[in-house]
Amino acid sequence: MKYLVIGSGGREHAIAWRLANDGSASEVYVLPGNGGISDAFRVNISMSDHEGIAAFCRDKNIGMVVVGPEAPLVEGLVDFLEKEKIPVFGPSKRAAQLEGSKLFAKMIMEKYNVPTAGHWDFIGKERLVEFIQTVKTYPIVIKLDGLAAGKGVGIPLNKQEALDFINESVGADTPVFVEEFLEGEEASVLGLSDGNHVYPFIAAQDHKRVFDGDKGPNTGGMGAYAPAPVADAALLEKVRLTVLQPVVDGMKKEGTPFKGILYAGIMVHKGEIKVLEFNVRFGDPETQVLLPLIDGKLGDLFAASINGTLTAETMRFTKKHAITVVMASGGYPGAYEKGKEIKGLDNVTSDIIVFHAGTKSAGGKILSDGGRVLTVTSIADDLRTANEKVYAGIKSISFEGGFYRKDIGHRALK
């Protein structure tokens, strides 16, 4: 079967890599792709050009489209392709509101008794600032309602930091809410749903802060590892029963069946779980550690979701461990420069997988073209060995200003 993967990041490179290497696909195209995708399979069409995407699928006889990022899902690409009778993996526009609107997700959680933090809703700055003046205990969490590329959340440690975040991020009419800060350890649990059933992948743990020791501002993610010991088999089943399945059942009752990836960011504290937020697609960089550990064909998982044939037996994983480290541009997550030549990619050993994210190819060279540039991944029988391998391998790669965290996986390695 021929696949078209929509997106340009490390997540999409990982999806394409898995489909091409596990027997799922005869050909995998990526739109618009990045410097890690060969020119022959990189499609120069905008993700918002739904007609152009459909025409490409018909021209190339694409058997399935896989939508990677959240924006095309929220914009309704899945709905459009379904009307064109093109098989597509991912949730509908209405179902994607679980990520597109954090307030919608809160409504669903509260309506269907999914454990989450208490919150206070506001529109714009005025009443929000008045509320901040009354807050006595920090940290708190401030969240913008819509999509914000992983950066619509502030976790101020005091009143001044809260006011600074509000002044930088909240407009006069911005929907925003304040949440209780939840203590505990964070984990990412991704479930695969066919609209009726949902079963989790093994748990991964992302590292959101930009610097070692979980310091500095939040990012889209600086690295991840799986499986994460914070969520063992018993906890994963608890997440399935108390979070994932109630949401899938609730969305069906709302007349909006959910098919695709339902990703719960959860906080685990003394064995109890609460949901931080939902995403409706594979996480990035969690994808880069989850997909290498699947035991079977990724294409079979996508087909089961689309066709409504998902079972617990569909979800099988190896007993290995994976870790991925993000190489980022200097200045990220703030302002950064592009166009830096990436050197050393040919020197990486065969047991290291380099997924491209913010890269482009030009004049026979690979150049940086984003904040998160590469995700360097290793797989081993245990996490410590995987950690040692990835950090030995990443030393071979360099570009001007490039940096990475040196402590990915630190919680589990303790």
With both helix axes pointing from N to C terminus, report the angle between 10-21 and 298-307 in degrees, rounded to the nearest 10: 100
- The average confidence (pLDDT) of the chain is 94
How many whole angstroms separate alpha carbon 43 and alpha carbon 54?
12
3-state secondary structure 37-91: CCHHHECCCCCCCHHHHHHHHHHHCCCEEEECCHHHHHCCHHHHHHHCCCCEECC
pTM score: 0.91
Is 184-314 CATH 3.90.45.10? no
Identify the pLDDT of residue 30: 98
- Residue 377 is classified by DSSP as E
Distances (CA, A) of 168 to 65, 153, 155, 162, 216: 37, 12, 14, 10, 17
Partners of residue 88 on adjacent β-strands:
65
With both helix axes pointing from N to C terminus, report the angle between 245-253 and 102-111 in degrees, rounded to the nearest 10: 100
Identify the pLDDT of residue 148: 59
How many whole angstroms separate alpha carbon 100 and alpha carbon 78?
14
How many whole angstroms separate alpha carbon 205 and alpha carbon 321?
12
A 10 A CB-CB count for 12 gives 29
Question: Are domains 184-314 and 321-413 of this chain identical in fold?
Answer: no
More confident residue, 153 or 160: 160
- CATH fold for the domain made of 2-93: Rossmann fold (3.40.50)
Q: Phi, psi at residue 86, to the nearest 5°?
A: -105, 120
Lowest mean pLDDT among 51-65, 114-128, 276-290, 296-310: 114-128
Identify the pLDDT of residue 358: 97
Identify the pLDDT of residue 173: 82
- C-alpha torsion sign, points 7, 12, 17, 22: negative
Summarised one tens digit per residue, pLDDT across range 240-249 is 999 999 999 9
How many whole angstroms separate alpha carbon 306 and alpha carbon 321?
29
Q: Is the pLDDT of residue 150 over 60?
A: no
pLDDT range class, residue 152, cuts 50, 70, 90:
confident
Q: Is the pLDDT of residue 82 over 60?
A: yes
Summarised one tens digit per residue, pLDDT across range 325-368 is 999 999 999 999 999 999 999 999 989 999 999 999 999 999 99
- Tell me what the mean pLDDT of segment 174-190 comes to: 89
What percent of the chain shows pLDDT beyond 90? 81
Spell out the CATH class of 120-179: alpha beta
Do residues 101 and 93 lie in contact, with contact meaning Cβ atoms separated by under 8 Å? Answer: no
Domain spans of the chain, in order of start: 2-93, 120-179, 184-314, 321-413
- Tell me what the mean pLDDT of segment 389-410 comes to: 97
Q: Is the pLDDT of residue 115 over 90?
A: yes
Is 321-413 CATH 3.90.600.10? yes
Summarised one tens digit per residue, pLDDT across range 285-331 is 999 999 999 999 999 999 999 999 999 999 999 999 999 999 999 99
Lowest mean pLDDT among 1-15, 214-228, 368-382: 214-228
